[in-house]
Amino acid sequence: MAGRFLNLFKPIARILPEIKAPERRIGFNEKLFWTAMTLVIYLIMTEVPLYGIETTALGELAALRIIFASSRGSLMELGIGPIVTAGLILQLLAGSDMIDCDMSRAEDRSLFTTTSKAFSIILTGVQASAYIIGGMYGAMPGAAAVIVFLQLLTAGVIVMLLDELVQKGWGFGSGISLFIMAGVAQQIFWQSFSPGTGLFVGGLSIVLSGSEPITSWIFGMGAYPSLIGFIATVVAFVIIIYMEGVRVELPLSYAGYRGFRSRYPIKLLYVSNLPVIFASALFANVYFFSQMFWSMNGQPTPGRNFWLDILGQFRWVGEGEQSSLQPVGGLVYYVLSPRSFSHVMADPWKALIYLGILIAFCVVFSLTWLEVGGLDPSTVAKQLVGAGMQIPGYRRSGKAIESVLKRYIPVVTILGGIVVALISGVSDFFGVFGSGMGILLSVGIVYQYYEILVRERAAEIYPAFRRIFGG
């Protein structure tokens, strides 16, 4: 049975907006249509500006915006941040047994989904308030603040429903993955080919005109991406694609049919890229709330408030519309990655501390998701035994299979957390396009979509495969 905490949200289940699951089998082309429509709506929302605000420079939050499919000054200002943060909080509560939830029960799964949606809406309101109170849009009169708040809240609900539309079976994969992939692809394209600030158009034209030396194009020149960053982007893609294929395969046999053999793959990236998403959500919220508290306390200078100094210290850099708020100290300073090799050389201690924090949290979130996501040795062993599988040379029992899985899964989980943290962090140090986290996530998402589309297409052509795929 669901615990008391989840039962608190039972009365509001009927009033929360919901996308109904399809009552018929959705064909491949129809799923493709709804997936495309979801992406089109998202892209339109990224281009619709919020009414009643003044847009300023992106500042240090630019890289994190890519991860959360966020677009500065648009209806997608908050992106998928509230949804990811709500999921992070609930998964941690469930993983630490602070709330009772048996995901094998349909009732508990339904209540968990309801609670997650309620948390997403609440956090959308909280983050919208933080943006307004924290001065992200400058000083605003009361009426304008309410209008902006309502726009952000409505957009947040729409994003939640778009994600639910895809996940409920109307489309492929998940809306969150789709939005992240679109945001990263868009960023990489603009950094490469934008007429104004792209590496191969805007940047190269300035070098050819003689106004900047070639070294500035190679190593970066302020607003323009660098050639090193582009090379690092290609290298990062190759490394991540290789890591996606690294795995240990355990031999399996089917008890019901003698001679039938199979393998159970344990990938190096066993828990996928979820640790990076959770770490990004945590770092982004540290930024949001430290800036909000800093603004609420009259933007104090360092040394005036001890607790604010620990959480985060900021200062305005630049003038007019190009001014941006930059962290200069405190925890928030160390959870934002240096975005170029020159920044790393300017403050190597910051780079090392950031990388250490990122690795620590990715390992913690990997181990947490191992339990919460049903990927632990005990759960996997039960699934294999239930499917009639066994490991050759061992008795067909959950304990025997679990003992073998325990040799690999915990170690691979920790190593996977370290690997994704290193790829993400070190890539950023070389100024990769789309950010290290963005590339890491996009490769994993493209790989997942490739598998989904191949599986769905095969099931469409050969309906008998549907039983194998569980459709």
Domain ranges of the chain: 1-193, 226-433
Q: Buried b vs exposed e over 108-133: b needs ≥16 C-beta within 10 Å?
A: beebbbbbbbbbbbebbebbbebbbe
**Does the structure show a pLDDT above 60 at 469?**
no
Residues 437, 441, 444, 450: what is their CA dihedral angle, to the nearest 10 degrees?
-140
CA–CA–CA angle 151, 153, 159 (5° rounding): 100
Whether 284 and 363 have beta carbons less than 8 Å apart is answered as no
**Tens-digit pLDDT profile for residues 94-116:** 766 777 777 667 777 788 888 88
Give the CA count within 13 Å in the CB-facing half-sphere of 398: 10
**Does the structure show a pLDDT above 70 at 462?**
no
Output the CA–CA distances (angstroms, integers) from residue 111 to 12, 127, 162, 364, 370, in the order listed.
Answer: 10, 24, 20, 26, 21
Q: What contacts 114, CB < 8 A, 6 or more positions away?
A: 9, 10, 12, 13, 16
**Region 228-232: what's the mean pLDDT?**
89
Please identify which residue in the block is written with the tokens 């979801």: 38
Whether 328 and 315 have beta carbons less than 8 Å apart is answered as yes
Distance separating the N- and C-terminal Cα atoms of the chain:
27
Least confident of 118-122, 138-142, 254-258: 254-258
pTM of the model: 0.79
Phi, psi (rounded to 5 degrees) for 271:
-100, 20
Looking at residue 468, what is its pLDDT? 46
CATH code of 226-433, in short, is: 1.10.3370.10
**Tens-digit pLDDT profile for residues 33-79:** 999 999 999 999 988 988 877 655 455 556 667 778 888 888 998 88
Alpha carbons 166 and 172: distance in angstroms, whole number: 6
Which is more confidently placed, 258 or 321?
A: 258
Q: Give the single-character DSSP code of 250.
A: E
Looking at residue 1, what is its pLDDT? 44
Whether 197 and 203 have beta carbons less than 8 Å apart is answered as yes
Q: Is 9 left (phi over 0), alpha (psi -120 to 50) or beta?
A: alpha
Alpha carbons 430 and 225: distance in angstroms, whole number: 11
Whether 48 and 73 have beta carbons less than 8 Å apart is answered as no
Output the CA–CA distances (angstroms, integers) from residue 379 to 269, 271, 338, 398, in the order listed.
Answer: 18, 14, 40, 9
Least confident of 106-115, 230-239, 384-393: 384-393
Which CATH number fits the domain 1-193, given the four candidates 1.10.287.110, 1.10.10.10, 1.10.3370.10, 3.40.50.1970?
Answer: 1.10.3370.10
CA 19 to chain CA mean position, Å: 23
Looking at residue 435, what is its pLDDT? 84
Is the fold of 1-193 the same as that of 226-433? yes
**Does the structure show a pLDDT above 60 at 465?**
no
- Burial of 258: CB neighbours in 10 Å, binned 0-12, 13-18, 19+: exposed
Alpha carbons 306 and 313: distance in angstroms, whole number: 10
Looking at residue 137, what is its pLDDT? 66
